[in-house]
Chain A
Amino acid sequence: MLELKQISKIFSGPQGPVRVLSESCLSVKPGEFVAVHGPSGCGKSTMLLIAGGLLAPGKGKVLIDGQDPYKMAPNQRCGFRAGKLGFVFQQFHLVPYLTVLENVLTIATVNRIENPSRRAKELISHFSLDHRMNHLPSQLSTGERQRVALARALFNNPKLILADEPTGNLDEKNAAMVFEYLAEFTANGGAVLVVTHDVKAAKYAHRTVHLKDGKVVQES
């Protein structure tokens, strides 16, 4: 589902170039839950954005569902993301002026989806947010916010979910809940790539890898 081949990324920082990734390889198959571990600043987010078609790698190749998003025109790449991917972030990134329902529906603006409001409501129910449907994100707890973000990420039936520290702002109970939902998604055939320094991810992941000196080190 996702293949990162020999990915290198060098940022030009104020004190000269910073090599973040060097010839990293990683693949995630459909139905697979992969966790990437590593200390803060090791390049996890960079790797995830590259995998998500949001940041072009300096060298190497990215294939999502067999297609290289960086060979597409920018607008085509947008459509590609809207069709195939789901994103979850530590900061939730909910749209503050939209209700829970509208946040989940957001992608319907750019992607055709059958019966969008029914699907959105089903997801809201699934994440036990029925009573929060018409609330604004600011009225929710952090756990609820991340569940809304998960619902939004699932709304377009993605093939791959990319999660960047999804439990970073959550307590243990909510963190476990998030990993359970992600595991459930892979059980239904979806692929998940989580980058995190949360060691509990290993409990849910099929595979955990480490990012060290810009390289992916296989573990279990």
Chain B
Amino acid sequence: MRIWRFVLKEILYRKLGFLLGVISIAAAVGALVGAFTMLKAHDIHTEGILEEASAQIEATMADLNEDMRKATLRLGFNVVILPAEQDLGDWYTEDYGTKCMPEDYVHKLAQSTIVTVKHLLPSLQQKIKWPETKRTIILVGTRGEVPNMHSSPVQPLIQPVPEGTIVLGHELHQSLELSEGDSVRLMGTEFTVHKCHEERGSKDDITAWIHLSQAQKLLDKEGQINAILALECACAWADVDKVRSEIMTILPDTQVVEKGGQALARAEARVSAKEAQVAALEQDKQNRTWLRTSRESFASRLVVIVMAASLIWIGFLAFSNVRERRSEIGILRAIGFRAGQILAIFVSKAVVMGLLGGLVGIAAGLYTGITIGANVDQMQAGAVTLSNVADLRLAILAVVLAPFLCVVASWIPSMIAAGQDPADILQQE
């Protein structure tokens, strides 16, 4: 007969006490594992929330970017680059420049490392008397966008006006009864109507657009332009001064005039929208951190209380087990069992109790941790699974820790058992 036989037989004989001990240690281990699992579920949920929020911000920003692009297109460019000697008073009253600068400036700007300006549109504008129709119009020579060499290629914002064609503002094509495909003469040159604009309620309604090179020829200003319209790039659209200073360093004899304030406002709104969303995300993060801290402290308090209660309870159970087994201890010692062997019987029982309790506790802890973790955070089923919260190290710790705690809790009663004097027991008859 080996010691373990005494241990197992006694456990089977006094099942209730043993089960109470197992439940108690299972509760302690369960609380520990459950707390860890719940916190892990919390972390997984937090990750999910923040990822979702980031993705949402990105999606919103992409939408806003597209809106911005379209809006800016409709509203006009954000800055106008004019020759330095251009009188701004004239420019504002006439709505077009009278001074010229070389067309080459556009290329200079396009080839520079300037990144704040993404879209460049050179133009030559002049108020003229349309000799053939006796109308005063604004003639605009344009040739579409000059791509900036240093930024990613973007779809041209302005459809260029092909050579030999003309685009007419609303008032012009209405009064002249012209529609797309018709022919019309302008200063002796034949043009095909390429497009008729809708009413815009601005000077655009009395504007005619032709290709830049043809305008230069007709107005006798070859190689000359009087304005470069620039659409700022996404990263600096909010900072007009930065754009201005960048342009001025490349083209010193120019001046930069802010235009399209509405677009700017939009852009600024977009910035603040992003800032608000980022702040909300930050707030979310902080909330989750705070929640985590409070859950952690609750869990740790709970674990400590449950563990302490469990240890006391196991100690009590062990103590009453020792009392119950006095007669057994007395006779075994009389027969020749050494004190160490009596200790071994009681300690082995604690180890068995701890192991069993530990295993039950791990299962119970994982189950409750997952359930509570999912319920508290209202996560959809499957978000927290056994495989993503189960921690092998934690399980090993629990399996080692539980018997250890059990032995610690029943150590004093076991020592009392081992130290009992058989004479004391056997004399009580």
Q: What residues make up the interface of A, taking CB atoms closer than 8 Å to B?
A: 45-46, 49, 52, 54-55, 74-75, 78-83, 87, 89-91, 93-98, 102, 105-111, 136, 152, 164-165, 168
- Which residue from chain B places its CB closest to the CB of A96 in the assembled complex? B13
- Which residue from chain B places its CB closest to the CB of A76 in the assembled complex? B338
18 pairs, CB–CB < 8 Å, chain A vs chain B: A45-B426, A54-B334, A78-B336, A80-B336, A82-B336, A87-B334, A87-B335, A89-B426, A95-B6, A95-B332, A97-B10, A102-B1, A102-B5, A109-B2, A109-B3, A111-B336, A136-B13, A152-B335
Also in contact, A110 and B336, with CB within 8 A (given A87-B331, A93-B331, A102-B5): yes
Q: How far is the CA of A93 from the CA of B325 in the complex (A)?
A: 10
Q: How far is the CA of A105 from the CA of B327 in the complex (A)?
A: 17
Also in contact, A102 and B9, with CB within 8 A (given A87-B335, A93-B426, A109-B337): yes
- Residue B104, interface by CB 8 Å: no
Contacts of A74 in B (CB 8 A): 338-339
Give the residue among A83, A91, A93 with the most B Cβ atoms within 10 A: A93
Contact of A105 among B1, B13, B331, B337 (CB under 8 A): B1
Chain B contact-residue range equals 20 to 34
- Which residue from chain B places its CB closest to the CB of A55 in the assembled complex? B423
Contact of B426 among A98, A108, A164 (CB under 8 A): A164
User: Judging by beta carbons under 8 Å apart, are B429 and A79 in contact?
Assistant: no
User: Judging by beta carbons under 8 Å apart, are B328 and A52 in contact?
Assistant: no
Contacts of B423 in A (CB 8 A): 49, 54-55
Q: How far is the CA of A109 from the CA of B12 in the complex (A)?
A: 20
- Residue B202, interface by CB 8 Å: no
Contacts of A152 in B (CB 8 A): 335
Also in contact, A49 and B426, with CB within 8 A (given A97-B13, A108-B1): yes
User: Judging by beta carbons under 8 Å apart, are A110 and B341 in contact?
Assistant: yes
Contacts of B3 in A (CB 8 A): 109
Contact of B335 among A46, A106, A168 (CB under 8 A): A106
Q: How far is the CA of A170 from the CA of B341 in the complex (A)?
A: 32
Contact of A95 among B328, B339, B341 (CB under 8 A): B328
- Residue B162, interface by CB 8 Å: no
Q: How far is the CA of A47 from the CA of B13 in the complex (A)?
A: 35
Closest 5 CB pairs of A and B: A82-B336, A97-B13, A93-B331, A55-B423, A81-B336
Q: How far is the CA of A207 from the CA of B417 in the complex (A)?
A: 38
B9 to A: closest C-beta gap in Å: 5
- Residue B159, interface by CB 8 Å: no
> Contacts A54-B426, A93-B426 given; 12 further ones with Cβ under 8 A?
A80-B336, A89-B331, A90-B429, A91-B429, A95-B328, A96-B13, A105-B1, A107-B336, A109-B337, A164-B429, A165-B429, A168-B429
A-facing residues in B287-345 (Cβ within 8 Å): 327-328, 330-341
Also in contact, A93 and B2, with CB within 8 A (given A49-B423, A79-B336, A98-B9): no
Contacts of B331 in A (CB 8 A): 87, 89, 93-95
Contacts of A90 in B (CB 8 A): 429
Also in contact, A81 and B14, with CB within 8 A (given A93-B426, A95-B328, A110-B341): no
- Residue B175, interface by CB 8 Å: no
User: Judging by beta carbons under 8 Å apart, are B337 and A78 in contact?
Assistant: yes
Also in contact, A93 and B427, with CB within 8 A (given A82-B335, A107-B336): no
